[in-house]
A and B are shown apart, each in its own frame.
Chain A
Amino acid sequence: MKEAKAMAYVNMYGVLGSLEKLCEIDTVAKDVLKTLKKPVSLCFDVTGGPCCTFHFTTNGCKMTDGSDGCTCKMNFASPEKFNALIDDSKPGIPSKGIAQVLSFLLGPFTKLTNRLTELLMPSEEALKDRAFFEESTILTFYTIGGAISALANSDSISQQSALYTVDGDVVMGIKDVCYATISVKNHKFTTVKERKDNPRAIMEFADIDLAYGLFNGTASTMAALCSGKIYMSGMISMVDNINRILDRVAAYLG
């Protein structure tokens, strides 16, 4: 039931999109960035899929739509080819800044994505370290947040959920830890990795342990709702639709 094009959007906006937060909160990633001799703006251009540029500096990473400002670029002939980059580390075809692509891709980028993989697909052993556990859960949260909008805009079933979603901002978050805002306009979703003011709806998990349990399926959403550990208010129909998309996120990222 996964669609290759939708998977490519999830990989771009969900998985690679979390590089922004990785570079912001993870010391290993920060150390990798320190090795950059000059800023690198790497564009992934997927035919029939997303096109985004990741701007890396020694201070962090910022993701933008399109190829504006890219210093190097890698083309993928199809969503499937791009998905192979994420699944099997198979690169695309460099089309700009070829030397930079190769050196960056094989060096810092690989280190960053390896670190991202460690955090998003953690071992049981690694999770025993509380700091690692928290960081892993936070990055998973942002990955899911990005994937929600990616699927709402590209997955044929999630698009039906989007069709019934009214305009406005939905804030979702882990209380006092991290927040994202899903902005909906004319059934198009955009994820911003911060809490916006005056949302139309809120869905907030009480703590990071609950969020982890919900993300990996060991905690009961219903039990959490009933014990007040998931706080919801506002235009609940928006939250309902996002929850349906979350089911699809699980299918894509599970």
Chain B
Amino acid sequence: MSKYPEYKHEKSQEWFQRALNAIPSGVYGHLGPSEGLFLPITKWPLMSDHAKGTYFWDVDGNKYLDFMCAYGPNVLGYCDDDVDAAAIEQLKTGNCTTSPSYKMVECAELLKDTVASADWAFFMKNGSDATTFSVMCARAHTGKKKMFFLKGYYHGDFQWAQKVDYPGILPEEVANNVVVPWFDIDALQQAYDACNGDVAGLIAQPYDHGNFKDNECATKEYWAQVRKFCDDHGMVLIFDDVRTGFRLDLAGSDHYYGIKADLICFCKALANGYNMSALCGGEHMKATASSVVYTGSYWMSAEPFAACLACIPKMKKLDTPKMFREMGTKLTEGLKAAGAEHGFNLVVSGEPALFYLRIANDDSLMLHQEWIAECVSRGLFLASHHNHFMNAAVTDEDIKLAIDIAEDAFGVVAANHPEMDWTPIK
């Protein structure tokens, strides 16, 4: 009854077995079956072969319309011709050299010109590098110890950013983390008082996009209040824009919410998949950033800078945040309507550029997991319990296809549960 036949993943499984023999967890982290929540694993591709635009192909030759975008880095489309050409040209010229390429300077200047709160940029490789540096800067700047986090936070996987019950984490490593609820200024004050004012700063994503829950967007009023709170208490305000950066606002998500953060972290969308991250900040934080000892073997490699120098202007030219808002809205409204036709209450939350999905017919998320699995195994790559990502290569035809596969998958799940009431939702 499904018009989209289910994919098979024999070669994926073969490669994954090899991976298990050679790599802990086979594919560890968010791209793997455990953290990626491939439920059940048989429905998911495990290894890719190639990619282009908004599609990737797995090693079995299956084609996926991908709304996870490698969890964010794919912002213009996989293998973007302009970005790749710039990167390849740079590779021919020089990459990891004793004196860094002048491209680093151009890149920093571009970020200064692009990001509203940036008077400087400091480069690294991953989001965790940037968030870690930001917290070090906050402590160096204030001479204070505690850091505030907002509930459900994720700022990477370095020890300080994990939780006390995670394997390998010592209580001492997270002893200065103070978790406060979102959207509650009184709670900030109470927590500050409880710390006797020994608080270096607050690090937060621009809005509450935790997993396993509907995402909750912030308001300009909320961030204005937080900005004032930090100013009043001498705390450094850090925006972790690793996930959202350049998808809400090319000038930074703090700009989107009408404030200037003291420090802002970027990574995923900086260079369309080339490996770099950046911490940007205001002039008042520059001397502090200079004082913190922090470097890495590949942090000044030129190839990603060249990619970034091609990526950001192209995002500006396309006005990708506007594009993502419009396309994300169109896609999610279509998914919602397709679900309603089949009796599914599909809840869409978060910003359209990074939409989050949840089927609310049951409170266990089991139906949701089944639907996601049926989508993935028919070529629409979604994640079970993570926000999704838009990219600039998505076309109207792609959105139509996504909705069609999703509708087909709704039908499959409904048919698998004849015991439930699937009256269309008006």
| Shortest distance between the CB of A129 and any CB in chain B (Å) | 32
CA distance A232 to B26 in the complex (A): 19
Asked if A234 contacts B385 (CB within 8 A), the reply is: no
Q: Mark A151-169, 1 if CB is under 8 A from B, else 0.
A: 0000001101100100010
A223 within 8 A of B: yes
Q: Which residues of A contact B165 (CB under 8 A)?
A: 157-158, 160-161, 241, 244-245, 247-248
Determine whether the beta carbon of A222 is less than 8 Å from that of B34. yes
Q: Is the CB of B26 within 8 A of A226?
A: yes
| A1–B385 alpha-carbon span in the complex (Å) | 33
Asked if A160 contacts B164 (CB within 8 A), the reply is yes
Q: Is the CB of B385 within 8 A of A236?
A: yes
Establish whether residues B364 and A226, one from each chain, have CB atoms under 8 Å apart when the complex forms: no
The count of chain A contact residues (Cβ–Cβ below 8 Å) is 28
Q: How far is the CA of A246 from the CA of B98 in the complex (A)?
A: 48
Query: Judging by beta carbons under 8 Å apart, are A233 and B211 in contact?
Result: no
Provide the A219-243 mask, 1 if CB < 8 A to any CB of B, else 0: 0101101101001111111000100
Interface residues in B9-57 by Cβ distance below 8 A to A read 16, 20, 24-26, 33-34, 37, 39-42
Contact residue among B24, B26, B34, B164 (Cβ-Cβ distance under 8 Å from A157)? B164
Q: In the complex, are the beta carbons of A200 and B364 less than 8 A apart? A: yes
Interface centre among A222, A226, A247 (most CB of B within 10 A): A226
Q: In this complex, what residue of B is CB-closest to A169? A: B364
- How many Å from the CB of B219 to the closest CB on chain A? 26
Q: A92 interface residue, CB < 8 Å from B?
A: no
Contact A233–B25 (Cβ < 8 Å): no
Interface pair A160/B363, CB less than 8 Å apart: no
Residues of B within 8 A of A244 (CB): 165-167
Residues 67-92 of chain A: 1 if any B CB is under 8 Å from the residue's CB, otherwise 0? 00000000000000000000000000
Q: A225 — which chain B residues lie within 8 A by C-beta?
A: 33-34, 41
Q: Distance (Å) between the CB of A92 and the closest chain B CB?
A: 32
Q: Which residues of B contact A223 (CB under 8 A)?
A: 20
The answer to whether A226 touches B33, judged by C-beta atoms less than 8 angstroms apart, is: yes
**One of A201, A220, A226 near B16 (C-beta < 8 A):** A226
Most chain B Cβ neighbours within 10 Å, of A199, A222, A244, A247: A222
Expressed in whole angstroms, the minimum distance between the Cβ of A74 and any Cβ of chain B is 33
Contact with B along A184-202 (1 / 0, CB 8 A): 0000000000000011110
Tell me the bound Cα distance from A223 to B167 in angstroms. Answer: 18
A199 in contact with B33 given A160-B163, A233-B39 (CB within 8 Å): no
Compute how far the CA of A158 lies from the CA of B34 in the bound complex, rounded to whole angstroms.
21
A222 CB to closest chain B CB, in angstroms? 5
B contact face: mostly helix, strand, loop, or mixed: loop
CB distance from A132 to the nearest CB of B (A): 32
A236 touches B41 (CB 8 A): no
Number of interface residues of B (CB under 8 A): 27
Is B217 among interface residues, defined by CB-CB distance under 8 A? Answer: no
Given contacts A222-B25, A228-B42, A244-B166, contact A235 B364 (CB under 8 A): yes
**In this assembly, does B365 line the interface, its C-beta being within 8 Å of a C-beta of chain A?**
yes
Q: B369: shortest Cβ distance to chain A, in Å?
A: 6
Q: Which residue of B has the minimal Cβ distance to A234?
A: B364
Residues on the B chain within 8 Å of A232, using CB: 39
Find out whether the CB atom of B20 lies under 8 angstroms from the CB atom of A168: no
The answer to whether A234 and B163 have CB atoms under 8 Å apart is no
B23 to chain A, nearest CB (A): 10
Across the interface, which residues of B come within 8 angstroms of A220, CB to CB? 20
Does B366 have its Cβ within 8 Å of any Cβ on chain A? Answer: yes
B294 interface residue, CB < 8 Å from A?
A: no
Does any Cβ of A come within 8 Å of B143's Cβ?
Answer: no
- B17 → A minimal CB distance (Å): 8
A157 to B26, CA, bound (A): 28
CA distance A208 to B66 in the complex (A): 39
Closest A residue to B179 by CB, please name it. Answer: A163
Chain B nearest Cβ from A201, distance in angstroms: 7
Interface of chain A residues 100 through 152 with chain B (CB within 8 A): none
Least Cβ–Cβ distance between A231 and chain B, in angstroms:
8
Given contacts A235-B212, A247-B167, contact A200 B37 (CB under 8 A): no
- Whether B20 lies near A222 (C-beta < 8 A) is yes
- In the bound assembly, the distance between CA atoms of A161 and B20 in angstroms comes to 28
A201 neighbours in B (Cβ, 8 Å): 364
Whole-angstrom distance between the Cβ of B426 and the nearest chain A Cβ = 27
Closest to B25 in A: A222
Contacts of B24 in A (CB 8 A): 222
Q: Mark A37-61, 1 if CB is under 8 A from B, else 0.
A: 0000000000000000000000000
- A200–B212 CB distance below 8 A: no
* Set A199, A228, A236, A248: member contacting B40, Cβ < 8 A: A228
B258 within 8 A of partner (CB) = no
Q: Are B366 and A234 in contact (CB under 8 A)?
A: yes
Query: Within B377-413, which residues are at the interface with A (CB < 8 Å)?
Result: 384-385
Instruction: Judge whether B171 is part of the interface by a CB distance below 8 angstroms.
Output: yes
A223 to B26, CA, bound (A): 9
B16 touches A168 (CB 8 A): no
Residue numbers in A under 8 Å from B34 (CB-CB):
222, 225
Q: Which residue of A lies closest to B363 (CB)?
A: A200
A161 → chain B closest CB, angstroms? 4
30 contacts between A and B (CB under 8 A): A157-B164, A157-B171, A160-B165, A168-B363, A168-B364, A198-B364, A200-B365, A220-B20, A222-B26, A222-B34, A223-B20, A225-B34, A225-B41, A226-B20, A226-B26, A226-B33, A231-B40, A233-B369, A234-B366, A235-B364, A235-B365, A236-B37, A236-B212, A236-B365, A236-B384, A236-B385, A237-B212, A237-B385, A241-B165, A247-B165
Residues of A within 8 A of B (CB): 157-158, 160-161, 164, 168, 198-201, 220, 222-223, 225-226, 228, 231-237, 241, 244-245, 247-248
The 6 closest A-B pairs by CB, nearest first: A234-B364, A237-B212, A161-B165, A244-B165, A200-B364, A160-B165
Instruction: Knowing that A232-B39, A236-B365 touch, tell me 5 more A-B residue pairs with CB under 8 angstroms.
Output: A168-B363, A168-B364, A222-B26, A233-B39, A244-B165
B interface vs A, CB < 8 Å?
16, 20, 24-26, 33-34, 37, 39-42, 163-167, 171, 211-212, 363-366, 369, 384-385
